[in-house]
Chains A and B, each alone.
Chain A
Amino acid sequence: MGDIVQIYNDYKDHADFLTVYVREAHPTDEWQMKSNVKDDVCYAQPKTLEQRVAIAKDFTARYKFTLPFGIDDMSNAADTAYAAWPERLYIIDETGHIVYRGGIGPFHYKPTEVREWLAAKYGAVKHEVQTTAAPTSAAFARTSTTSGASSATTTTLLSAPVESKK
């Protein structure tokens, strides 16, 4: 239920979404995790913007990621401004003010809180069937049900079929 893609599908008629790709959390030349190897998600930390774009394209293509997408520059301006690394969620209202500031992931990355905020404003979206499938390493797809660093990369499938009913 915490899947951000599912939240996007549920509320894209009411809210805008923007994914911001920031520097890698677990590149091969820093803190690589076993799950990244298992899932064949092995990248060195990009040294150029072209490398960062290439990884972003790999990600969106591999998971057929449909959310609007932007890429942080090599000065990590977005990461710095929003203290975003490794992953974080915000909601900004129509006046340009922050109305929800999520915690720093993976431990405090909680898509369910975003869902709750949207549900309070636009109504809850109930799901009759929820299907989980093969894990990915995509941080964007991470759920809030993590209990440790080693389990933090256990995710739900980005495009898991879910029947929704408003």
Chain B
Amino acid sequence: MKLFLQWFAGVLAVILLAAFGALCYLAGSPKDAYGMVRYALPHMHRGTLQVGSDAPDVRLLALDGINHFHIRERMGTRPLVLVFGSFT
């Protein structure tokens, strides 16, 4: 039984090490692997919107930092392409 547990722990350690190595390779570095797990993975399956869903209306701030508008105001006569993103 003890021998089995030793083998099991050894195999598990090798698998975990390989998984960590693969993640580092995919992410680019150990730091990026951490970032991926810490920040990206929790967001991978967010959201319930589907094709056919009503587009949620949201109030946004204009680039002037003063005026506001609603996404709905930009809908109606033509398709609206929404591009979400940030600088970094």
- Residues of chain A touching chain B, judged by Cβ–Cβ distance below 8 Å, are 4, 7-8, 11, 14-27, 30-34, 36, 41-43, 49-50, 53, 55-60, 67-73, 77-79, 81-94, 96-101, 104-105, 114, 118, 121, 137-140, 142, 148-151
Apart from A71-B61, A92-B55, what are 20 other A-B pairs with CB-CB below 8 Å?
A16-B78, A18-B71, A18-B80, A18-B83, A20-B82, A69-B62, A70-B62, A73-B59, A83-B49, A85-B43, A85-B84, A88-B84, A92-B75, A96-B55, A96-B72, A101-B49, A101-B50, A137-B88, A148-B27, A150-B27
Main SS class of interface, A: mixed
Q: Are B47 and A68 in contact (CB under 8 A)?
A: no
B83 contact from A4, A26, A99, Cβ within 8 A: A4
A70 contact from B51, B60, B87, Cβ within 8 A: B60
18 A-B pairs in the complex with CB atoms less than 8 angstroms apart = A4-B83, A7-B81, A11-B81, A20-B83, A21-B85, A31-B38, A33-B32, A33-B35, A49-B65, A50-B65, A71-B60, A77-B58, A77-B59, A97-B55, A100-B51, A137-B88, A149-B40, A150-B32
